[in-house]
Structure 1
Amino acid sequence: MKLIYERTPSIERAMLVDGERLLEVEERFVDQLSVGTIVEAAIERIHPSLGAAFLTDGETTYFLPISETLRALASYPEVPAIGQAAVVGEKRLVQLTKEGINGKHHKVTENIRFGGRYLVYFPFGRRQLFSRKLDLVTQDRLSKALDLTEEEGVLFRTEAGQVAPEALQEELNRLRHRSIVVIEQRFGQDELLCEQFVRRHAVESVLLNDKEGQSRLERLDVPVKRHIGKGRMPEAKHLDGAIEKLESRAVWLDGGAFVLIEQVETMTVIDVNSGKNVAVKDKGRAADTINEAALYSIMEQLRLRNIGGMIVIDFLRGSKEGQTRLLKKMKELGARDPRRVEVYGFTRMGLFELSRERTGRSIQDRMFHAGKPSKLAIFSQFERSLLDLNDQYEAVVLSLPKKWHDASWHEFDIEVHLVEGEPEFLFYGTSEECQNFLSRR
């Protein structure tokens, strides 16, 4: 598998491919709240019955369980009362561990972490942890390899057992430095998207356009090639069409059949339709064939769109033998999914039920807001276009809502002029031509 990582001034985008086939895609703002984001927030209220505190940074509310407070870390294995660990009005530096979805608050911890190739470093972790794959003799050796303060903690990854103590100490020093910078800034990400993908998947090589991403991945011993030159990477541009299709409700199959994917707040409902498929000689056999093709497409789309939670599929009415094959194949495909999939089978009404582990927001949630393209969708389209326009035009005029004017537009080689209005490209040309265009408005 190959990872293609594209970064613009505001957005990072990671695309996992197998040959020409897109397997997974994720896109986010560089400063977006997501798992791993470190923020400073004040304790707004304490909830003794939940054993938790609620924090706010003025815009977002966070949920901090008692077990994730610094006071609990210091008194481990004893757990104090939440009133002893938190005081209303205090500011705390916390890290997101789970994104809030459908009105739920983001879950956070004070046990901040920074990941490396061999270690996970906890500035306030206070103890040493080990990968389950490390034997007791190796754990004992590693426990003496690093010079940690009383407050610090580390988790030794499996790879730590294969390297010299000097390499571990070098990585520890590097993670310490990164933690100091983020803690001083009171905001940051523990990992880039490209690092997260490399850790989650068996990535064989990476193509990217970002110098920082290159240096971080080289420390993880991943073959990296960086795109040098103006414009976008052709490999990334080639995937735009496949990614745009993920915004459509309909997924077409060979022969004219199609699948409809409807995401609502509580679940995802999928409907398999025969469409233009006119094979009527043996309707049961035709339905079984369409259902099997739809099954592979559905499992692929769930991963591509990052759909999780409860899922109900309305397959075509096929034979009993066909239903048995569907159940067996669904379990096989579910076992290959990087996320945990629970397969329940057919109900008495003939609907197929399954659930998929929810991790973050889906493509639909990220790219649409109140039925319109989200800020992320607009910025993603505009910034990719600006990269391509760099070697064709000197300047461009963009129309954007006033609240979006504070982005890093000045970081492009092309000169960007902004006017207030609905998002669209208004004019390309030389700097003088753009100034004349603005003067005529």
Structure 2
Amino acid sequence: MNKLIITEMNIKGVPCLICAAEEEGRIMEIRLEPMGKKSVLGNIYVGQVENISSNIGAAFVQISPGERCYFPLAEEKYCIYASARKENRPLKPGDEILVQINRDAMKGKLPALTSNLNFTGKYLVLTTGDKKFGLSNKLCSEDRSRLSKWLEDEILCPDKEYGIIVRTNAADAEKEEILRELSYLKKQYQKVAVDGKSRTCFSRLYETETFYISAARDANSRELSEIVTDVPGVYDRIAQYLSENSADEKDKLRMYQDKLLPLHKLYSLEKAIETIEKEKVWLDSGGFLVIQQTEAFVSIDVNSGKFMGRKKAEETYRKINLEAAREIVRQLRLRNLSGIILIDFINMENPDHQDELFHVLQKLLRKDPVRCRAVDITPLNILEMTRKKVRRPVIEDLRELCNAL
């Protein structure tokens, strides 16, 4: 079963709040924020178009004076305008539009914006741009049928102003809980996307939940066994959130009070952070990975290292590759690596071993909450995959802490 661990730690001499996800006894994800600093990812603003760069298919939009963000022109079709605008004309400088930050600033790149506003609950996501009805791919056919029936009135409603996505967690919810959350998200939509059009430029219309509340909300209810923290204020906020939104899960929350063994020591969070900072990751077999991030992509090289199998070399390489696949999926989540990822496995010439490895990797990637896709194996025997960019890599957060000193 899985756990969420929320605690305070000094990292690089900076006091931080850290939220870690443990699965099957291993730390799989880490998010951290310096104390007193809050991420803006997911916030919604009345932004103002500064200029249009048609050559790169983008506009630059300010969400506060001097704070520029990247806005793809493909999003223009979803725009909700807060300023007067004549019909059927393209976006132009000075236009005021409602925008949501949907990607952190990364490697010197500006934060990215969307005009397809998302209001996220535990069971549903309400969207303003894509007005379709959708269900999580992780829901079984029986759950999909039942949930679609519960939301039939919404599905059949003509001229909908918003779309609805049913999340994986909805599988364990009662109909009343689903409809209650839908009503709440509709009120958020009205307040932000409708009433927000009359707000002044640069107004912040919606502030996202604290990152550890989002982690508790997004965790798979069936697999989450415990939320543990040693921070009283965090415990109180999560307890309040669960009471209001997921009362059945309040028993999963625990306050850790052993002062002799700090929570971050108990779960070896310092060791996990040290791993993130290293390019080389050792495998239990004696093989190792070399993980390097470039401007264009992430490269991962699998090496046999100290592993000396008793059987023929081909079977040895197969075993290392399968072990490496499991560790690679963990490292992608732990480091929050994204974009194009190229993996050079060992001796990928046997077609049967290629197929086995490709399908094992696909199965492992399905457990990742972030959208991933194993694409292909190239003629040079390099496995290509992608992982959606949302938050910046954890190593960038760690480097920022060093710069803050």
Give the alignment's TM-score, normalised by structure 1. 0.64
Which residue does the alignment assign to 2:81?
71
Is residue 328 from structure 1 mapped to residue 328 from structure 2 by the alignment?
no
Distance 1:6 1:91, change over 3 A: farther
In the superposition, relative to structure 1, how do residues 279 and 161 fare at CA in structure 2: closer, same or farther (>3 Å)? Answer: closer
Using the TM superposition, give the Cα deviation of residue 62 of structure 1 relative to its aligned residue in structure 2, in angstroms: 3.5
Q: In the alignment, which residue of structure 2 is the partner of 1:242?
A: 272
Pair 1:218 & 2:219 matched: no
Q: Which residue of 1 aligns with 2:61?
A: 55
Q: CA deviation at 1:290?
A: 2.0
Whether contact under 8 Å (1:260, 1:272) holds in the other structure is: yes
| 1:256 counterpart SS class | coil
- What displacement does 1:129 show? 7.6
Determine which of 346, 361, 372 is the counterpart of 1:316: 346
Q: Is the 8 A contact 2:126 2:185 kept in 1?
A: no
Distance 2:177 2:8 in 1: 32
Helix, strand or coil: the match of 2:327?
A: helix
Equivalence map 1:154-173=2 (5 Å) = 161-163=175-177
Matched letter for residue 197 of structure 1: A
Whether 2:333 is the aligned partner of 1:303: answer: yes
Contact 2:302 2:345 survives alignment (8 Å):
yes
Q: Structure 1 233/306 Cα, relative in aligned 2: closer, same or farther at 3 Å? A: farther
CA distance in 1, matches of 2:213, 2:132: 21
Equivalent of 2:153, from 123, 126, 140? 140
Give the match for residue 283 of structure 1.
Answer: 313
* In structure 2, C-alpha distance between the alignment counterparts of 1:278 and 1:33, rounded to whole Å: 46
Confirm or deny that 1:343 pairs with 2:343: no
Amino acid at match of 1:325: E
Do the aligned partners of 1:100 and 1:106 also contact (CA within 8 Å) in 2?
yes
In the alignment, residue 206 of structure 1 is paired with which amino acid?
A: I
Could you tell me whether the CA contact under 8 Å between 2:321 and 2:346 is conserved in 1? yes
Question: Aligned equivalents of 1:143 and 1:324: distance in 2?
Answer: 43
Q: How far apart, in 2, do the equivalents of 1:325 and 1:142 lie?
A: 40
In angstroms, what is the RMSD of aligned CA positions? 4.6
Aligned with 2:379: secondary structure? coil
2:47 corresponds to 1:17: no
User: Based on CA coordinates, which of the two structures has the bigger radius of gyration?
Assistant: 1
Query: What one-letter code is carried by the residue in structure 2 that aligns with 1:45?
Result: N
| Residue equivalent to 1:207 | 228
Q: Distance in 2 between matches of 1:62 and 1:17?
A: 34
* Identity percentage of aligned residues: 25
Which residue identity is paired with 1:36?
A: G
Q: Deviations over 1:193-233 (max 9, x none)?
A: 23332343313432233132332233231335353769798
- Describe how 1:94-113 pairs up with structure 2 within 5 A: 94-101=99-106, 104-109=109-114
Change (3 A) 1:41 1:175: closer
Relative distance call for 1:94 and 1:311 in structure 2 (3 A) is closer
Cα 1:310–1:116, aligned 2, differ >3 Å: closer, same or farther?
closer
Quick check: 1:288–1:319 contact (8 Å CA) kept in 2? no
SS in 2 for 1:312: strand
Residues 137-180 of structure 1 show CA distances to partners (whole Å, capped at 9, x for unaligned) of: 74438999xxxxxxx97958655843497787678779989999
User: 2:305 aligns to what SS in structure 1?
Assistant: coil
Cα gap change, 1:68/1:366 in structure 2, threshold over 3 Å: closer, same or farther?
farther
Change (3 A) 1:322 1:156: closer
1:81 aligns with 2:118: no
Q: 1:189 and 2:197 equivalent?
A: no
Q: 1:275 Cα deviation (Å)?
A: 2.0
Tell me, in whole angstroms, the C-alpha distance in 1 between the residues paired with 2:117 and 2:182: 19
Q: Deviations over 1:98-146 (max 9, x none)?
A: 3354565433246655544567678xx69998665544674438999xx
Q: Residue 288 of structure 1 contacts residue 322 of structure 1 at CA under 8 Å; is this kept in 2?
A: yes
Listed as ranges, the gaps of 5+ residues in structure 1 are 145-151, 369-373, 379-400, 405-422, 424-441
Judge conservation of contact 2:298–2:342 (CA < 8 Å) in 1.
Answer: yes
Residue matched to 2:140? none
Paired AA for residue 140 in structure 1: D
Shift of 1:60: 3.1
Deviation string, structure 1 residues 319-372 (Cα, Å, up to 9, x no partner): 61433432332233233333333324433323232223333212223323xxxx
Secondary structure of the structure 2 residue equivalent to 1:354: strand
Deviations 1:38-97 (A, max 9, x none): 35644312457888642223143342643343239999xx974234xx652x66663212
Q: Given residue 227 of structure 1, which amino acid in structure 2 is its aligned partner?
A: M
Give the Cα–Cα distance (whole angstroms) in 2 for the partners of residues 318 and 170 of structure 1: 52
- For the residue of structure 2 that corresponds to 1:82, the secondary structure is coil
Q: Which amino acid aligns with 2:80?
A: L
* Matched residue, 1:2: 3
* Alpha-carbon separation, structure 2, partners of 1:34 and 1:195: 14
Conservation of the 8 A alpha-carbon contact between 2:58 and 2:70: no
State the alpha-carbon separation in 2 of the partners of residues 254 and 126 from structure 1: 47
